[in-house]
A and B are shown apart, each in its own frame.
Chain A
């Protein structure tokens, strides 16, 4: 189990900005924009939960292993609470005080949409660099 380091690095780097085409122009928007500064950790949490339910410590360890960047417990739960409020994740019954979380259908749709946008952004960047994606 665990996230693919390369994939998560890409998400980490690209999640800061997504490029969308608007009337021929490029507009920079952040992913999960309503989450403000928690958008980036929120996306990493959603990606971490994509392969099955995890409790808080497992999410932190997964994200840190994947990105090489630390995720503090305060940041994790601030983002997790917002994701739960918006119905992107849901809590499962606790096991030994650890409560696992899993993606909801809405969360899965949202993270898939975000990743497609990131992928489009990555492809755009690579094309401009004269390199082929993948």
Chain B
């Protein structure tokens, strides 16, 4: 992976910094946060070496940080929740709800990337699984949504129609949330209460959905609880991450 990431940088940059940068990347396990940061760094190096640096330098930008991760996690949870509620309240006019849901899923991936900086150092496999499950799940969900719109109720693979793909993708996203919560709780990189809430709500979602599908159409309240619970966990964790990155008077108080 290190060689691949290095190749993204301009040749002139690699000649100067390539060897030491490769040594730096080999120092510790890389997580989604580090990879995203290197991708942004490579993009910046291309702009900078082509004399376009002024565009990127003077533009207000944000490095990948807790703040971005927290905002994205909060927005992702809120958008997915709103999307579900919108679609549930007005099934005949569910298009806006689906778009909100998709935007929320993408935001959750950004949130996962931004919030995994420290967890990946000690639990790289767990963190990568927590990232890849929702990433693949999101793609499967998108395929399912498109399939539902284009071929409603028509089986595509065996007995599986678009709805089945969508649900499998959703289950993968929720399973990724559980893994992320475990990694976060174990490292204490974010508040453990937030990690515990995300883990519990995601587990409730996962179990509710599996139970609801086992019971069939009689279990609509359980199904709704399954759809909604994990979004609350992301909203809470996102808020805690934002609060964590907020300047506080603690350092000054400690210095006195």
Which residues of chain A have a CB within 8 Å of any CB of chain B? 5-7, 9-10, 13, 16, 34-38, 40-41, 55-57, 60, 69-70, 72-78, 81-82, 94, 96-99, 122, 126, 134
Could you say which of B59, B60, B63, B250 contacts A72, with CB atoms under 8 Å apart?
B63
CA distance A40 to B179 in the complex (A): 32
- Give CA–CA (A134, B17) in the complex, Å: 41
A14 and B149 CA atoms in complex are apart in Å by 51
* B251 is an interface residue with CB less than 8 A from chain A: yes
Q: List, in ascending order, chain B residues with CB within 8 A of A56's CB.
A: 20-21, 23-24
Q: Are B58 and A36 in contact (CB under 8 A)?
A: yes
The answer on a CB contact under 8 Å between B41 and A74 is yes
Interface size class of B (residues with CB under 8 A): 35 or more
Asked whether, in the complex, the Cβ of A97 is within 8 Å of the Cβ of B33, the reply is: no
Contacts of B44 in A (CB 8 A): 74, 78
**How far is B117's CA from A78's CA once the two chains are assembled, in angstroms?**
18
A125 to B170, CA, bound (A): 49
Bound Cα distance A36, B61 (Å): 8
Residue interface mask B67-91, A partner, CB < 8 A = 1: 0000000000000000000000000
Question: With A34-B57, A37-B57 known to touch, is A99 a contact of B252 (CB < 8 Å)?
Answer: no
15 additional contacts (CB under 8 A) given A73-B41, A81-B45: A6-B252, A36-B61, A41-B63, A60-B24, A69-B66, A69-B245, A70-B117, A70-B118, A72-B33, A74-B34, A74-B40, A74-B44, A77-B17, A78-B45, A126-B252
**How far apart are A110's CB and chain B's nearest CB, in angstroms?**
17
Report whether A57 and B252 are in contact in the complex, using a CB–CB cutoff of 8 Å: no
Q: Is the interface of B mostly helix, strand, loop or mixed?
A: helix
B214 within 8 A of A: no
CB-based contact A37/B64 at 8 Å = no
Does the CB pair B251–A73 fall under 8 Å? Answer: no
> B251: which A residues are within 8 A, CB to CB?
5-6, 9-10, 13
Instruction: Give chain B residues whose Cβ lies under 8 Å from the Cβ of A9.
Output: 250-251
Q: Are A72 and B57 in contact (CB under 8 A)?
A: no
Can you spell out 26 A-B residue pairs with CB atoms less than 8 angstroms apart?
A9-B251, A10-B252, A10-B255, A34-B57, A36-B56, A36-B57, A37-B63, A41-B63, A55-B24, A56-B21, A60-B24, A69-B66, A70-B66, A72-B64, A74-B38, A74-B39, A74-B41, A75-B40, A78-B44, A81-B17, A82-B48, A96-B23, A97-B22, A98-B20, A122-B252, A134-B256
Q: Which residues of B lie under 8 Å from residue A34 when comparing CB positions?
A: 57
Residues of A within 8 A of B256 (CB): 134
Question: B159 on the interface (CB 8 Å rule)?
Answer: no
Cβ of B19 under 8 Å from chain A: yes
The answer for the CA separation of A22 and B99 in the assembled complex, in Å, is 49
